[in-house]
Structure 1
């Protein structure tokens, strides 16, 4: 029994028959049928109930199928890790990140450049929990900086630092004359918000909901850069991470802190728990955790 036979068997089960599986595997149907019969002969029991219309698993076949899925998943991870080891000599680290870390990451990368001058760093914007999990599991990135806490057995999310979400508006906006701005003052204001699926949007809508205030959403945008451009043009107001703006606030903008627990959040470092990482990649991960 080998991995190829397991892949053939799983394909037949998933396609509910030999013809679809053969087409997917680019094999002839007789060759595929022979391979499955050979597998059944090697293990000593029947895996499939064959009828003229479809193929079903036997009781023993159902147990075998689940184990085959597990083995193939482990093999896929093993193959990716082998490729990682081979690629380690290329000296590349791929870092997923959210926009708001743009003013936090330079110091880390400055240190990394001094310690590992031959390493090439690829920065990839990864937004939304599904994209983060996919990027980590499919080896698109080694590490990911995110505001999403990912509660899964295979991914570690370690807290790095706290950040506040603040109100941003044009410097000439009437609310810019107030020192203390509350959520109730924002009711009816044309609001620019991050698109659905983004954690920032969840934080903001939760804050308004808890305050029992309606939000007049006029514009959705994927990037804080776009949001700030619209705010500076006087199109509307928004709430974004304070860290994204940096130490110097542009003269065209005014920012105000808002008193809401929902507008305070954590930035995490996410990585696959049992994944092999080349020493230079592991050093970057440990440096981030130590800050």
Structure 2
């Protein structure tokens, strides 16, 4: 006997057409790009077709989801309420397809959020290993610093499949797996007294990325706690420029070890008087850790993290 399907009635459903995944995909694309023209170009479709698809979604919802202005688009209050559900729906379909097709060779796109130093020394070699096994799997890398939460928001919203980031203060319902401990080191010119003292650190001009960067906070708090924070702090946008300034005797800097590959001959990385480290790991939404493409990336990164820890570089 066939079980009858439930029928919904009431003001919420009367006269409304069904919402489609295609409409949700168009809505999310416009929200992410900030304009219909950019979203249409990215999707390879006409702007009029894209606008028609979004209007169909708004008709189905009975509410506008995007506010159109001369400078672009923004989410309406309704749009802000439903964007997370739209992302979840698209992710659920993607995950269903992946789970139903555990092919030996993976394909499609995998998005990873990470920081530059982690990406260069940990993610890049892991991706080389992953590409050798799954050449049809395309990787997109997002700058974790752009989301204001160290990469967490990208993963929570579904914009990234995986985060390779520093341990968050609060997991926010996400899964976090510790991969390695990355110590901070003082970078100075060769010839300076070793081991370093707190008095020496306080006396040196300190060169750091812009202080608004949350990655600076552990270093600043650590130096303050030991009364070793220099009164002369210079903010510099580019890491390479910071290292050049250290090379020319304009101060010292403090970097995590993973950010110091290929240090110039005139520079030396020295341990702090007491250890300070950051914890690097994988952050994944619950329910997605078992997906084949996520598992493949996680295993490649775990292997690289073990090699990095064993080599001490």
2:92 counterpart of 1:81: yes
2:275 counterpart of 1:257: no
Closer/same/farther in 2, CA of residues 93 and 277 from structure 1, 3 Å limit = farther
**Structure (1/2) with the larger helix percentage:** 1
C-alpha separation in 1, matches of 2:9 and 2:292: 33
SS at structure 2 position matched to 1:240: strand
2:235 counterpart of 1:220: yes
Q: Which moved more, 1:184-193 or 1:210-219?
A: 210-219
Number of residue pairs matched by the alignment: 230
Q: CA deviation at 1:276?
A: 7.5
Check whether the contact 1:150–1:157 (CA below 8 A) recurs between aligned residues.
no
Closer/same/farther in 2, CA of residues 275 and 226 from structure 1, 3 Å limit = farther
Check whether the contact 2:184–2:256 (CA below 8 A) recurs between aligned residues.
yes
Closer/same/farther in 2, CA of residues 132 and 119 from structure 1, 3 Å limit = same
Q: Aligned residue for 1:147?
A: 166
CA displacement 1:57-107 (0-9 Å, x = unmatched): xxxxxxxxxxxx7x9855641234325667998622111111222222333
Check whether the contact 2:107–2:134 (CA below 8 A) recurs between aligned residues.
no
| Bigger CA radius of gyration | 1
C-alpha separation in 1, matches of 2:87 and 2:9: 14
C-alpha separation in 2, matches of 1:76 and 1:146: 22
2:302 counterpart of 1:284: no
C-alpha separation in 1, matches of 2:246 and 2:9: 60
CA displacement 1:227-263 (0-9 Å, x = unmatched): 22332343321100122112x43112122111224x2
SS at structure 2 position matched to 1:117: coil
Closer/same/farther in 2, CA of residues 228 and 177 from structure 1, 3 Å limit = closer
Matches within 5 A, 1:123-272: 123-127=141-145, 130-171=149-190, 176-246=191-261, 248-261=262-275, 263-272=276-285
Check whether the contact 1:155–1:271 (CA below 8 A) recurs between aligned residues.
yes
Check whether the contact 1:116–1:280 (CA below 8 A) recurs between aligned residues.
no
Closer/same/farther in 2, CA of residues 114 and 212 from structure 1, 3 Å limit = same
Q: Aligned residue for 1:57?
A: none
Check whether the contact 2:182–2:277 (CA below 8 A) recurs between aligned residues.
yes
Q: Which runs of 5+ in 1 are unaligned?
A: 9-24, 37-68
Closer/same/farther in 2, CA of residues 217 and 99 from structure 1, 3 Å limit = farther
SS at structure 1 position matched to 2:149: helix
C-alpha separation in 2, matches of 1:264 and 1:4: 57
Equivalent in 115, 129, 133 of residue 133 of structure 2: 115
Closer/same/farther in 2, CA of residues 131 and 167 from structure 1, 3 Å limit = closer
Q: TM-score, normalised by structure 2?
A: 0.61
Q: CA deviation at 1:204?
A: 1.3
Q: Which moved more, 1:71-80 or 1:236-245?
A: 71-80
C-alpha separation in 2, matches of 1:78 and 1:205: 41
Q: TM-score, normalised by structure 1?
A: 0.65
Matches within 5 A, 1:42-121: 74=85, 76-82=87-93, 91-101=108-118, 102-121=120-139
Q: Which moved more, 1:114-123 or 1:197-206?
A: 197-206
Closer/same/farther in 2, CA of residues 75 and 289 from structure 1, 3 Å limit = same
Check whether the contact 1:136–1:272 (CA below 8 A) recurs between aligned residues.
yes
